[in-house]
Amino acid sequence: MALVVAATYQCFAGAIALAPFCSLDRILEDHRYGRPILEARFGSLQEKDFRAADTLANVRNLKKPVLIIHGTQDGTVPFEHGSLIQKQLGSNARLLAVDGANHHLRNVDRRPIFDQIFNWLQNVSQS
C-alpha cells in the first residue's frame, strides 16, 4: 500500500514497504488455501481487488526512492516478493533482507532495522 501511495501523491518523498507482496495472484499461487482466508477477512475478491493489489504493475513508473524490508524466512509473504518488487523498481529501490526474520520481524532484534530505516529517511529527506 505504501508503494501505491508514494506513486500517486507528490507530497511523499519516498516509501517504506515492510514485507510487501508483488501481486494478489502470486500470493494465491504461493498459498494454495489462501483465498478462503483472504475472503474471510476482506470479503469476496473481485477483479478490481486484483488490479489494486498488483504492486508490480502499480510501481512500474515510480521514480521515488523505496526501502523494501523483508525477512528471508517470511512464511506469509515469501521473500521473493520483495525481491521481485526491488527488481521492478531498479535503482530507485533498496532491499533490506533481514536474515532469518519472519513476516513481522518479531523473531529478530529490530533495533538495527530501525537504525537503517532512520538513516534511509535522513538520506531521502536530504535528496
> pTM, whole model, 2 decimals?
0.90
Distance, CA of 127 to CA of 124 (rounded, Å): 5
Query: What is the b/e burial string over 75-95, where b = at least 16 CB atoms within 10 angstroms of the residue's CB?
Result: eebbbebbbbbbebbeeebbb
Domain ranges of the chain: 2-126
- The answer to whether 49 touches 24, Cβ cutoff 8 Å, is yes
| Domain 2-126: top CATH class | alpha beta
- The answer to whether 20 touches 3, Cβ cutoff 8 Å, is yes
Q: Kindly give the confidence (pLDDT) of every residue in the chain, 127 residues in length, as a single tens digit, with 9 standing for 90 and above.
A: 556 666 667 888 889 999 999 999 999 999 999 999 999 988 999 999 999 899 999 888 888 899 999 999 999 999 999 999 999 999 999 999 999 999 999 999 999 999 999 999 999 888 7
